[in-house]
Amino acid sequence: MPRRRPGALRAARDLEPHRIASWQRDLPPIDRLSRTTSALVRNAEAARPGYHVHPGSVRTNLARYRAFLRLPGEKLRLPTSGCLSCPGCQYDDIAYVRDALQDALMLLPLPARTELRRLLDTLDTRFRRRTIPDRWSSRTDWLGEPPPWWHRRVYTDARGAE
């Protein structure tokens, strides 16, 4: 009997957790994503919930990100959260919303990740154009690395989200 090559076995194994039930494709798609990608996002949210990722988080955070970008005015400043330790209030800070979208992006398989990345790239371009870079930001994380670029923007109170 012919045996399957190791590459074929690995490919079949890697596709296993990303299978989509037929009923999942019938659900309404997430904002500007295909039905297949939306189903894969829902699978990732349900299978691997984390600090920022839970069922429905991508849909909610995309809506928050778009709502911020629709605010009137030419240049926007990021609003700070009243209390960053509160799980609900921290998402008043758009930088944390973008963190949540980045975390969800890392959980997706490659085709879905590419589609969500394309959507985020267009939103990020608008975000960079409409916000002001903070040239004096010298914050680092506990490893001494600077935070992602979306945390290094000017906040409404000019101190940043700490």
Neighbours of 101 (CB within 10 A): 23
- The predicted model gives 60-79 an average pLDDT of 94
Model pTM?
A: 0.80
- 29: exposed, middle or buried (C-beta count within 10 Å: 0-12, 13-18, 19+)? middle
The two three-digit tokens of residue 130, written as one number: 């409409």
Distance, in Å, from the CA atom of 158 to the CA atom of 106, rounded to the nearest integer, reads 30
What average pLDDT does the chain have?
Answer: 84
pLDDT given for residue 49 in this prediction: 74
Residue-wise pLDDT for 124-143, tens only, equals 999 999 999 988 777 777 88
Torsion on CA atoms 9, 10, 13, 15, rounded to nearest 10: -110
* Per-residue pLDDT tens digits for 75-103: 999 888 777 677 778 888 899 999 999 99
